[in-house]
Amino acid sequence: MRYAGACWAILIAASLHAETIPVPGIHKPVEILRDRWGVPHIYAQTVDDLFFAQGFITARDRLFQIDLWRRIGTGKLAEAIGPAAIDRDRLARAVRWRGTAGQSMEQEWLGYAPDTRQIATAFTSGINAYIRSLHGKRPPEFELGGYDPGLWEPEDCLARVAGLLMTRNLTKEVARVQDVKRLGLAAVAKFLPPDPPTPLEVPHGLDLADVDEGILRVYNQTIGPARFGEQGSNNWVVDGSLTSSGKPILANDPHRPVQLPSLRKTVHLVGPGWNAIGAGEPSLPGIALGHNENIAWGFTTVGTDQQDLYVEKLDPQNPNRYRYRGEWKDMEVEQQSLRVKGSKDLQPIRLLYTIHGPVIHVDAARHRAYALRWVGAEPGSAGYLVGLSIARAKNWGEFQKATDRYKVPAENIVYADTAGNIGWQVTGLTPIRKNWNGLFPVPGDSGEYEWSGFRAIKDLPHLYNPPEHFIATANAKILPPGYEIAIGYEWAPPFRVGRVKEMLSHAQAKFSVADFERMQQDVVSLPARRFQAVLKRWGNQSPAVNKILQWDRALSTGSAAAAIYEIWISKLPAAVFGQELGPRTDLPMLFDTLDADPHAKALADTLDATLQQLTKDQGPNMDRWQWGRLHQIDFQHPLKAPEWHRGPLPRPGDGFTVNSTGGPGLQPAARRTGRLWILAIGTAR
C-alpha cells in the first residue's frame, strides 16, 4: 500500500462526540470536524493526508453508495446482483477510456490537474483503509445485499458511465428517427424543430429501417438504475451593484434525482494549497462546485451535442468485419471476463470496437453494428475531476485556464470572486461536424461523417462583468445573438431561466443571501401565466377557469388551482396535436399553437376530463383539491429495504419552476439534491 509504514490518528469530532482513530496510511495527524449539518471539515498537513481522509470519511458515511457507483462505472455490478447485470457491465467496460495508438494511461491522467493521480491514489487508499478497518464485517446494506465491499484502485475514479448520461444525445438521435418514421419528416421539422433552426435532413446513405429503439436496450440499462435521472439545474450570479453587501452573490441549484443516499456529498477541504468547500460526487476526490477563499463557481448542463451513433455495415460472411471507405476492416475485439454472483466460474465477454468507438448493439439479422462516437473516448474526460483544478483557481484567468480542461459534461459555469468580478464560461468538448448537424444517426461505411476536432474554449460562449450586472442559466438555450457555432440544438424550455431573470430584473431592493434562498424555493409558473392568457381569450366563465384566472400561479402543495392546471395542461397536447404527435411536443409549441388558435373544443374536452379525474381522486369539493396530493416524492433505497424508506411526501413546483421538482406529465420524481448553494463573496468563511 502506498502509505505503508505510517500510522497516525484521525480525530473525528462532532458537537457532542469526539473520537480518535489510529489509521495506517497517513503521515501526520488529521482533524475532521463535523458541523451541525453533519458536513465534514477536514484539516490536514499534507495533500496526501487531506485526500486520504476525504476517502476515509466518505467510505465511513457512504460506503454502500460509492461501492455501488464503482461497480456501475467499472463494469463489476454482476458481482453484486448477478446475471441481470452482465450486459450493462459489458458496455460499462467498453466505454472506459482505452486510448488510441500511442496513447498511454499517463496521457489520461495528464488530462486533469497535474496531481490528479496523486490525489486519486490518496483518496482511494483512504477508502480502502476504512474497508480494511471493518475486518470483514459487513455493514447492514452489504449484509442485506449478500456481498462484500470491494477495494478500490485510483483508476476507478476515471470511469465514464456517468458521462454517458450527461452527454445523452444518442437517445435523442434514435428517438428522432422513430418520430420521422411515425410522423414524417415534414411534421417533425414543423412541430419538433431543432433550435437554432437548421434543415432537418436524413443523412445520405442512412436507411431509417436500420434504426429502432432496441439499439438502446443495453445502453439505457447502463445509464439507468442507480437512478441517475434527467438534468435540470439553475445558477445565477450578480455583482456587488445589486447586493446589499456590495459584493457578488452566486447561487447554484444543480438539480439531480432525489435519492437515498443523496447524490452529492458536501465537504470542506483544508490543507497545503487547499481551502475549499462545496459538493461533489461522493465517489470522486475534491469538490465539483462551491467556493474557495477567492472564487465561487456553480454549473448547469449546457446541452452540447457530444455523441453520435454510427450504423456500421457488417460482412455477412464474417460478422467481425465492417465496411469503411470501400474496404472491409476487422473490428478490434477485446476478451474479458466477469465475476457473477451465484456462479463459481468467470463469465467471458467480448468487447467490440470500430473506428468510431465501442459497439453498443449488434443486429445479426440485418448485418448491422451500432457504434458510439462520443467525447468520453478522449483522454481527460472523466466527469467532474476537473473540479480539482477549478477549486484551486484564484482569479478569472486561472479559472478560465482550468475550465479549458473541462471536457465532460458540458457545463454553464458561473463565476464570482472577492475582487467583485462575475463571469460565465461554457465548457466541454464540442465536436466539429463540417458537413452534418448530428441530429440523426449516420452511416459509418462511407467516411462522410467524421469529426474534425473540437472547438477551442475561447470560441464557446462566455461573459465577464456584463453590463446587466447579472448572469443566469437553467439548461435553456444560451447562444448569444449572432453566435453561429452549432454546439447543440436541444435545450430545456426557457421558463425556469425566464423566471430567474424576471426576479433579478424587477427587484425592489438590493439582494441579500436570504433573498436568493427564497428565489431558489420559488414555485411561480411562467407556463401557467401563458395558460391564463389563453383562457382569457377563450372566454369560458366556469368555476374551474375562474379559479385558475384568479390564481397567483404558485404551484404550492395546497393549491387547488395548481392541481387543475397541472392535470389540464397534461391532457392538452394529445387533444391539440393528436395521440401520436402530442406527447412529443413541448409546452412552448403548445402555447404558440393555442395563441394562434384557442382550440376551444380541445380546451373544453380536456377541462371536462380534468374535472372528472380530480373529482374521482379527491372528491367533489373543488376547494379541497391539492396539488401536493398528486405530486409527491418517494425516497426508495436501492435495496428497497423498508427500514430505509422515506415518504411519500408532497412536493411543490414542477419541472418548469425554479424549484424544479419534477417533469411534465405529473412525474412524481423531485429533482433536487443536497443543500442550496448560495455563496456570498467577500463574506463567506
What is the per-residue pLDDT for 42?
97
The tens digit of pLDDT for each residue in 132-176 reads 999 999 999 999 999 999 999 999 999 998 888 778 789 999 999
Q: Where are the beta strands (DSSP E) in 246-293?
A: 249-253, 265-271, 274-280, 289-291
Read off the DSSP letter of residue 554. B
Domain 526-629 has what CATH class?
mainly alpha
671 close to 660: Cβ distance less than 8 angstroms: yes
Average pLDDT of span 1-26: 64
Q: What is the pLDDT of residues 398-412, one digit of tens each?
A: 999 999 999 999 999
CA atoms within 13 A on the CB side of 544: 22
pLDDT band (50, 70, 90) for residue 671: very low
Residue 675 pLDDT exceeds 80: no
**Rg of the Cα trace of the chain?**
26
pLDDT bin (cut points 50, 70, 90) of residue 679 is very low
Report, as an integer, the average pLDDT of 265-279: 97
Name, in order, each residue with C-beta under 8 angstroms of 568's C-beta and a sequence gap of 6 or more.
Answer: 606, 607, 610
Model confidence at 669, pLDDT cuts 50, 70, 90, reads very low
Residues 68/80, Cβ–Cβ less than 8 Å: yes
Choose the weakest-confidence range: 216-220, 243-247, 443-447: 216-220
What's the whole-model pTM score? Answer: 0.92
pLDDT at 407: 94
Instruction: Please state the domain extents for the chain.
Output: 526-629
| Span of 92-106, 267-281, 334-348 with lowest mean pLDDT | 92-106
pLDDT digits (tens, 9 = 90+) for 582-591: 999 999 999 9
Looking at per-residue pLDDT, the higher value among 98 and 602 belongs to 602
**Is residue 11's pLDDT more than 70?**
no
pLDDT the model gives residue 383: 86
The answer to whether residue 395 scores a pLDDT higher than 90 is: yes
The pLDDT tens digits for 611-625 are 999 999 999 999 999
C-alpha cell at 555: 404551484
Arithmetic mean of pLDDT over the chain? 91
pLDDT at residue 15, rounded to an integer: 56
Helix, strand, coil shares of the chain as percentages rounded to 5?
Answer: 35, 20, 45
Asked if residue 680 has pLDDT above 60, the reply is: no
pLDDT at position 16 = 56
Is pLDDT at 1 greater than 60 in this prediction? no
Could you report the per-residue pLDDT of 206-230, keeping only the tens digit for each? 999 999 999 999 988 887 754 323 3
Cell numbers for 650: 408532497
For β-strands 265-271 and 646-650, DSSP reports them as unpaired
Q: What is the pLDDT of residues 517-553, one digit of tens each?
A: 999 999 999 999 999 999 999 999 999 999 999 999 9
Is the separation of the CB atoms in 298 and 674 below 8 Å? no
* All three cell numbers of 442: 449516420
Model confidence at 678: pLDDT above 50: no
Q: Are 606 and 590 in contact (CB under 8 A)?
A: no
Q: Which residue has the higher pLDDT, 398 or 641?
A: 398
| Least confident range of 159-163, 416-420, 500-504 | 159-163
Cell representation of residue 96: 472506459
pLDDT at 7 over 70: no
Nearest residue to 85 (alpha-carbon basis) of 100, 101, 73, 103:
73
What is the mean pLDDT of the segment spanning 30-34?
94
* pLDDT band with cut points at 50, 70 and 90 for residue 14: low
How many distinct helices (H) and strands (E) make up the chain?
Answer: 19, 25
Give, to the nearest 10 degrees, the angle between helix 587-596 and helix 526-538.
Answer: 20
The β-bridge partners of 352 are 333
Name which of 309, 311, 302, 312 is nearest 455 in CA terms: 302
Cα distances (Å, whole numbers) of residue 186 to 174, 203, 577 = 17, 15, 14
- The b-or-e profile of 136-166 (16+ CB within 10 A means b, else e) is eeebebbebbebbbbebebbbbbbbbbbbbb
C-alpha 332/C-alpha 354 separation (Å) is: 7
Angstrom CA distances, 107 to 99, 403, 675, stand at 9, 18, 35
Phi, psi of 642 (to 5 degrees): -65, -30
Q: Is the pLDDT of residue 76 over 80?
A: yes
Confidence of residue 641 (pLDDT cuts 50, 70, 90): confident
- For residue 574, give the nearest of 563, 566, 562, 584 by alpha carbon: 584
One DSSP character per residue, 12-30 reads EE-SS-EEEEEEET-SS-E
Confidence of residue 639 (pLDDT cuts 50, 70, 90): confident
Report residue 199's pLDDT band, with 50, 70 and 90 as the boundaries. Answer: very high
Q: Using 50, 70 and 90 to split pLDDT, how confident is the model at 260? A: confident
Rounded to 10 degrees, the C-alpha dihedral 21/26/31/34 comes to -70
Going by pLDDT thresholds of 50, 70 and 90, the confidence category of residue 684 is very low
- Would you say residue 397 has pLDDT above 90? yes
